[in-house]
Chains A and B, each alone.
Chain A
Amino acid sequence: MNKEIKKKIMASVIVILLGIVILFSTLIFKNVFNENKIDYITGVSSGLIVVGMFIFIKTIYAISGADKGQEMVNKLQDERLIAINNEASGITFRITTVIAAIAGIVLYLLGLEKEGMLLTAFVGIDTLIYLMSYFIISKRK
């Protein structure tokens, strides 16, 4: 089996397991959380399970036929699609960082200092992670 397909199957299994673990731990530690939090966590974990199952079934279906399997491998390794994905990720990062920074300042000015501070701290951490990954990748390439 192709390495990329293995990675995809592994990722979907991890997502499913994560969803199941969160779901069961919420049910076990029922008394710790209030009802609203339980509903929220149950929703998130169910979402993880559904997404994981969807990716898993889609991947298994795709590799069921020899041609389909090769097509999927080609799509996963396609340099143009990878480049598009990288560019889209970069744009998303920039836009969300700017929106979060603006929202943080606006919240701060509106008197919601704690929320504003949290959001700007998030922007700071996000940028720091970006710089760190940039540095690590530039060292490797």
Chain B
Amino acid sequence: MKNLVEELRKSRNEKQEELAHCVGVSRQTIISIEKGKYNPSIMLAFKISRHFNKSIEEVFFCEEE
């Protein structure tokens, strides 16, 4: 699964730590998600998407898409 977390975060001039704090995870988890190493649960994906005022599909998508 790929995502636009890094792009969306950078567009808001937000630090990884700030995003992590807002969605209730550690900074390492945000790093892993951005690198595509870790696929978040639906709940966390929902929290991240909501943080950026986007739908889950707009932030997270399958590689084939």
Contact B24 A77 (CB under 8 A): yes
Task: Report the Cα distance A81→B20, complex, angstroms.
Answer: 13
Q: Distance in Å from the Cβ of A60 to the closest Cβ of chain B? A: 20
Partner of B29, one of A70, A71, A80: A80
Q: A78-B26, A80-B29 are in contact. Are A70 and B21 (CB under 8 A)?
A: yes
Partner of B32, one of A70, A73, A80: A80
Name A's interface SS: helix
Interface presence of A74 (CB below 8 A)? yes
Task: Report the Cα distance A3→B20, complex, angstroms.
Answer: 20
Q: Which of A57-83 contact B (CB under 8 A)?
A: 70-71, 73-75, 77-81
Contact A74 B24 (CB under 8 A): yes
Task: Report the Cα distance A70→B28, complex, angstroms.
Answer: 15
**How many contacting A-B pairs (Cβ < 8 A)?**
32
By the criterion of a CB under 8 Å from any partner CB, how many residues of chain A are at the interface? 10
Q: Which of A5-59 contact B (CB under 8 A)?
A: none
By the criterion of a CB under 8 Å from any partner CB, how many residues of chain B are at the interface? 13
Contact B21 A79 (CB under 8 A): no
Interface presence of B61 (CB below 8 A)? no
Chain B residues in 8 Å Cβ range of A78 = 24-26, 29
Q: Which residue of A lies closest to B33 (CB)?
A: A80
Q: Which residue of B lies closest to A67 (CB)?
A: B21
Contact A80 B21 (CB under 8 A): no
Q: Distance in Å from the Cβ of A65 to the closest Cβ of chain B? A: 13
Contact A74 B44 (CB under 8 A): no
Annotate A79-112 by CB proximity to B: 1 below 8 A, 0 otherwise.
1110000000000000000000000000000000
Chain A residues in 8 Å Cβ range of B13 = none
Chain B residues in 8 Å Cβ range of A80 = 25-26, 28-29, 32, 38, 40
Interface presence of B41 (CB below 8 A)? yes
